[in-house]
Amino acid sequence: MEIDFNKILFAIIGLIIVLNWGLLMSSIMRKIGARVAGRHGIPWFQPWVDLVKNYAIRSQITHGVMFYLGPVFRLSGGVGLFLFMPMIFGSDLWINFSFKGDIILILYFQFFGMLGMALGAGEGGQPHSFIGISRGLSQFTAIEVPMTLAVISLAVQYQTLSISDIVEAQQGGFMNWTIITNPFASIAAMLSLLGAFGHSPFNLVKAPNEIPIGPPTEYHGTYLGVLRTNAAILHVVEAVLFMNLFFGGAGSWLELIVKSFLIYFWSVFVGMVFPRFRIEQSVVWFLKVPLILGIIAIILL
């Protein structure tokens, strides 16, 4: 088996681009949120400062091996999503390690990081961590149901499980995009995306306005830096996934940046408008409208 060093090199370069774009996008969205609330907000370079500061701090507290493997598993999920995600359509160097049937692996990696964090939190020092675990897994499972139905609908529509093939089928203009040709699956997936990004109203697990705010209260220093690194990568890659499946993919990095920004902004906009759900409200919501739309998408095909 030959090792394609060019593809490895470009994958590393792409990961660096995605990381920095994710940090910048996070800064922009936090700035927008501050402006909406009548505040000035953070400087645009603050995420980089926070990342360097976190990686420079070492923890003297120990909770066991699995506790510290949680952020590693979380980061592995985000990096795994990137490595098997075709980024630029028509480029042999920017399709990473995608293959026929890669969409199945992508869906698995989406859940992998969440499971890793659940295992890590279970070994933490917080006696009520199991509450956060049950909340997080319950909500994410409810998110995955309509999302999986939407993906099944696309697989039936395009007769493939390859993301690259799905992007190729959408070429020729925006009228060929899945958002136009399969609106029920697209809407179900875009509603699921709100929960996947973890903004309000679906951010109870790490609610930023409460004293116990989830993993950041337990993980600090380098481990928090790993979580912040994963968040920057994961948000971009998840936006790229939806871009590939429903919005025709991207033929250049500029197009990818514009489309991923607009997709990510969708979740931020909703978060600015709607208050936070309780966990039972969140789960029931995903099992109503998004689930019904996903079922309709499959029935119509």
Helix or strand or coil: residue 174? helix
CA 108, CA 80: separation in Å to the nearest integer? Answer: 10
Residue 293, both tokens: 């739309």
CA 160, CA 154: separation in Å to the nearest integer? Answer: 8
Model pLDDT, residue 296: 93
State which residues of the chain have pLDDT below 50: 211
Helix or strand or coil: residue 182? coil
The answer to whether 34 and 40 are in contact (CB under 8 A) is yes
Stretch (H or E) spanning 143: helix 129-158
Model pLDDT, residue 214: 55
Model pLDDT, residue 121: 76
Residue identified by tokens 């789960």 is 283
CA 299, CA 13: separation in Å to the nearest integer? Answer: 42
Apex CA 2: angle with CA 230 and CA 76, to 5°?
15
Q: Which residues contact 155 (CB under 8 A, 6 or more apart)?
A: 103, 161
**Each residue of 164-192: b (16+ CB within 10 Å) or e?**
bbbbbbbeeeeeebbbebbebbbbbbbbb
- The Cα-based distances of 23 to 97, 155, 173 in angstroms read 24, 32, 31
Cα-Cα end-to-end distance for the chain: 40
Model pLDDT, residue 238: 92
Residue 8, both tokens: 């490895």
Q: Which runs of E-coded beta strand occur in 60-219?
A: none
CA 98, CA 164: separation in Å to the nearest integer? Answer: 8
Model pLDDT, residue 147: 92
Amino acid at 185: A
The answer to whether 81 and 109 are in contact (CB under 8 A) is yes
Model pLDDT, residue 211: 47
Question: Domains of the chain: which residue ranges?
Answer: 5-300
Q: Which runs of E-coded beta strand occur in 153-266?
A: none
- Residue 7, Cβ neighbours under 10 Å: how many? 15
Length of the chain: 301
CA 230, CA 243: separation in Å to the nearest integer? Answer: 19
pLDDT, tens digit (0-9, with 9 covering 90-100), for 170-213:
998 889 999 999 999 999 999 998 888 888 888 877 665 554 55
CA 90, CA 113: separation in Å to the nearest integer? Answer: 29
